[in-house]
Structure formats: structure tokens, C-alpha cells
Chain A
């Protein structure tokens, strides 16, 4: 088989690319390969699945007939064994060889497995795919207690889902506070208080030295020597870019696959996006891994347009997350806890109901944390993304009634008028 466009990966980035290609090229053949057996589904939905056991149909990221409607060959439950970057082919695990003219590597990340004794025992799970959620679900009938290793986004999502299933959960976080890469200290504390009220124990500043039990998990042993009895363990210490296909090729890889502002790799006809790619971050003004869903989709979209010959620049992404745990809503983006060096200015406002903070550098927004009252967070994120000089109105940004009207008219008027673009 030979196709014009080959997309490896079937999640946000791959779908973003496929949709963009079909907007501008109705005829060019597209194939998408996934090593999962499902049509594209919403990965962040897996925590909801674990709580409510939704049908696959409800979890689908695009309608079931998406591939047919867009004339896309979908090769599900198939793994790419090797990438012929010079011959412009890939070889699948069933021996098939597929030729391509433009290739997108939207392969995502793999959960990091810690070098801890017992991590291969029965009852130890990762939590990034639907199959992980299904495996945990099956295990829960005879489980009462869980330890979640890692207090990041995935860890806290898993915790909430397990707690809602009636499981007693303990989170073990290596650093001093949970969600330490996406929240500042105060917001982390607010989340920890919320978890505490939900009877979830949060242990910080501790590593796991052993997962004990034979043959099934029965205890997690901490660096302090404390043993925490449990029936299952969820390992959520992070995800690393899945760069294996690039090994032995000339494709430039740093921590992830390095892409330019067109989402092209160092090979002119190979593109990349999503969790595997190191793409432009507009806050840091350099390439970084920002493994979040919206950046994957937009990066995929830009890649797809460029693959189809419509030159498009990636506007850049940055870390941006909206969380809603146990009814606590938080929106955060960019640099939330700046290093102790001159040049950063933090403005904060805290009431009983909300906590808001923005970080500025040279009168431009570089970071934000909004807790509880998040509905204006998008306006602030928009100013951050567009690198607007907010010097003349920065004191108003945290006001309750802040809105576009606080911006100078020469900023708000063109923003409102230019955006009107139905069609």
C-alpha cells in the first residue's frame, strides 16, 4: 500500500492533522495507524469511564463514521515496527509495508515506569489509556485500598475516579507538594485541602522504595520505612515522549522530536506533534515539551495543513490546564512559580471564594493561576498568548469585573471585530 499522507497515532494530534488535510485536500489518500483497537477516543475521558463505565460510543472523540466520512484508511490495533525514513515506508507488525509521501509522527507518550522493586506485580497499573482504565475497573470488585504514586494531573485524576468508586486512596508524591509543575504553592495547598476533605491522604516528599506482595500487591513501602497496605497501585509519575521510531534515523530528537514552526522535523516530509514533539512554547520563547491535549490538536492541525501544501505557522503553545477535582475548579497556564530572579512580577488576589495570580515579565503575562472563579481566565490567557503589553491595565486584571472593556480600545475593538469569522 502507498498513501499520500500517513499518520501514526490516532489521538488529538493525528485527528487534528487528518481533519486539516481533508479541509484542503479532498482526494489525497490518508491512512492512520493506531496500536490501540479503538477509534479515536477522548483520553482524558478515561477517569470518567472509571467512575461511570461509559460506553465506548460516548467516549469517542469523533463520530464513529469519521474515517468513512473523510475517506481515511484506519489501521487499528497495528504497531509500526520500523520507519524507513529514506525509503519513505513503514513496516507494520503484521509484515505489511506502507509507502508514504508525507508522514506525521503523532505517537504520543508512554507512562514512565519507575525503577522500583515489585513494579511488575499484579495489581500495578498505569493510567493513560482506555485499556488501563478497563483493567483497573475489572480489578476493583475485590479492592478497597489504592496507592497512587505521583501527584501530577494523571495521578490526581486517577485518585478522584478511584475515590468515587469507593476506594480508599493514598497519594504519594516525591516532591514537596502535589501538582507542583502546573500550580503554585498556594493553589497546590488548596487542592491538598480539598483532597483531605474527601478523605484522601496525601503524602509528599516521599519516594516509594518497594511494592510488596506475592503474587499480588499488598503494600507500598516508602523511603521513610512506612508501609501502606493496599490492593492496587496506580503509577502516574509522568509520561515520556515515544521516540523509538526515530532511533537510527537522522530525525533530530532532543527530549522529544524537534519540530519547526511548521511542525516539520529535520526531515522535510516528516512532521510531528503532540506529546512526542518538542514544539514552540510562546512563554519560554523556545521549543519545549508541552504534553497537553489542546496543543496536540492545534499542532496536528498546523502539521496537516503544511503536509497538504498550505503553509501555516504554529502560533506556539504553552502548558495550560483546566482542572476540576471534587468540585474545585482551577485554570492555570505558563510559568506559575517563577524562579527567584529579578524581572518577574507576581500579582495576587485572594478572597474566601477565590484565588487569582498572574505573573508578568516586562509587562507581559507569562503565567496565571485562577482558583474557583475561572470564567475570565480565557481573557487573561488570550492576552498572554498574544504577548499583549498589559502595563497600562495590569492592576485591573485580577478585579472581579475584569473584562475586555478594561483593555485600551485600540486593543479590544480590533479583537472583537477581527474575530467575527463564521463560515
Chain B
């Protein structure tokens, strides 16, 4: 329905305070959302990193900063190694990698480490977002 709450809670989750009001009013720079809600006419959907089986961003990364974990399958960025060349942004067919121009690094979905279910899914009021593993089984129960 295009409420963008997933973006808001993604920002909160990746803020220092993990508090909505503090994150939006006091944190500078405000954390960037790591997913994007797209709307066109009556269609609306959230696009986040697919953690692709053959990840073009990882293959394009010039420094080895992007990495797909063998066990979890999660594609993460090592910000220490990211030089902000943005090659991954051009390589990602979903357009889900963002520039943090202040830091000169990318930000991307990390599936909320430490949480059982990512913040975007937890806070989706319409249950439009679900969290499922490769086999298609719904981990969310």
C-alpha cells in the first residue's frame, strides 16, 4: 500500500540509538534506508537486496569489500575495504545499493544481524513482506 514504514524501520534499525524519534531528530547524518518502496499507479512494492545466488555486486567489487557468506548466503559489505567506487551500484540490477556520500561508502541490506526477522518485515503493517529462506519455506512461521 506504499506506506514506506519498512524504510522508516530499516533506518531505525541501522541507527545508533535504535529509537525512531532520536534517529530521525537527533542523529546526523540520519541513517539511510537500505530498501526502496516503488510505487506506480496502483502497484506498490518494496525492493531490497535479493542476496543473489550469483551476486553481480560481489563479482563486480573492485576491492573485495563485498562478500557472500558461504553458510548464511547473506551478501555483506566490509566498510573498511569499501572505497566508494560505486561499481556495485552499476552492477546491481535491482538498484538496491545506496551511496553514503558522507562516508564515501556504500550501504546495503544486511538482513538485520542479531534479529530473528529483519525490521522491514516485522514492521510491515499489511504483512506484505515475508521472510523466507531459499527453499521457499517461511521462516517467519
Q: A301 touching B84 by the CB < 8 A rule?
A: no
Binds A, one of B14-22, B23-31, B36-44, B112-120: B36-44
A378 and B89 contact, Cβ closer than 8 Å, known pairs A329-B99, A404-B94, A405-B39: yes
- B97 close to A (CB within 8 Å): yes
Q: Is A419's CB under 8 angstroms from B50's CB?
A: yes
Q: Is the CB of A421 within 8 A of B91?
A: no
Partner of B62, one of A45, A374, A404, A421: A45
A5 to B47: give the CA distance in the assembly, Å: 40
Are A423 and B73 closer than 8 Å at their CB atoms?
A: yes
- Specify which chain A residues have a CB less than 8 angstroms from the CB of B40 in the assembled complex: 403, 405-406
Closest chain A CB from B19 CB (angstroms) = 27
- Whether A403 lies near B36 (C-beta < 8 A) is yes
A404 is contacted by which of B47, B60, B85, B97 (Cβ under 8 Å)?
B47
Q: Which of A97-105, A229-237, A251-259, A291-299 contacts B (4 or more CB under 8 A)?
A: A291-299
Q: How extensive is the interface on chain B, given as a class? A: 35 or more
Q: Which of A324, A379, A420, A421 contacts B95 (CB 8 A)?
A: A379
Cβ contact within 8 Å between B91 and A378: yes
A window 351-382: CB within 8 A of B: 374-379, 381-382
Q: Which residues of the partner chain B approach A374 to less than 8 Å between Cβ atoms?
A: 86, 89-90, 99
Please give the distance in Å from B52's CB to the nearest CB on chain A: 5
Q: How far is the CA of A320 from the CA of B85 in the complex (A)?
A: 13
**Interface contact B47-A403, CB-CB below 8 Å:** yes
Chain B contacts of A383 at CB under 8 A?
93
Number of interface residues of A (CB under 8 A): 47
User: Is B85 touching A322 in the complex (CB atoms < 8 A)?
Assistant: yes
Contact present for B60 and A331 (CB under 8 Å): no
Q: How far is the CA of A159 from the CA of B47 in the complex (A)?
A: 38
A422 / chain B contacts, CB cutoff of 8 Å? 51, 53, 72-74, 133-134
Q: Which residue of B lies closest to A413 (CB)?
A: B45
Q: In angstroms, how far is the closest chain B Cβ from the Cβ of A268?
A: 25
The contact of B38 among A327, A404, A415, A421, by CB within 8 Å, is A404
Q: Decide if A324 touches B60 in the complex (CB within 8 Å).
A: no
A404-B47, A423-B53 given; A45·B63 CB < 8 A: yes
Looking at the complex, which of A58-66, A107-115, A120-128, A139-147 is the stretch in contact with chain B? A58-66
Taken residue by residue from 322 to 357, chain A's Cβ proximity to chain B (1 for < 8 Å, 0 otherwise) reads as: 101001010101000000000000000000000000
Which A residue's beta carbon lies closest to that of B54? A421
At the interface, yes or no: A244 with Cβ under 8 Å from chain B? no
Q: Contacts A322-B86, A421-B51, A422-B51 given: A375-B99 contact, CB under 8 Å?
A: yes
A383 CB, min distance to chain B CBs, angstroms = 8
Interface membership of A44, Cβ < 8 A: yes
Q: Return chain A residues, CB-CB under 8 Å to B5.
A: none
Residues of A contacting B73 in the complex (Cβ-Cβ under 8 angstroms): 421-423
Q: Can you spell out 12 A-B residue pairs with CB atoms less than 8 angstroms apart?
A: A48-B83, A293-B87, A331-B90, A377-B90, A378-B93, A382-B94, A385-B93, A403-B95, A405-B40, A416-B94, A421-B50, A422-B72
B residues apposed to A, CB below 8 Å: 36, 38-40, 43-45, 47, 50-54, 56, 59-60, 62-64, 72-74, 80-81, 83-87, 89-95, 97-99, 101, 132-134
Extra 12 A-B pairs, beta carbons < 8 Å, given A294-B87, A322-B87, A423-B133: A61-B64, A294-B59, A298-B59, A320-B90, A333-B90, A374-B86, A381-B93, A386-B93, A415-B94, A416-B45, A419-B50, A423-B73
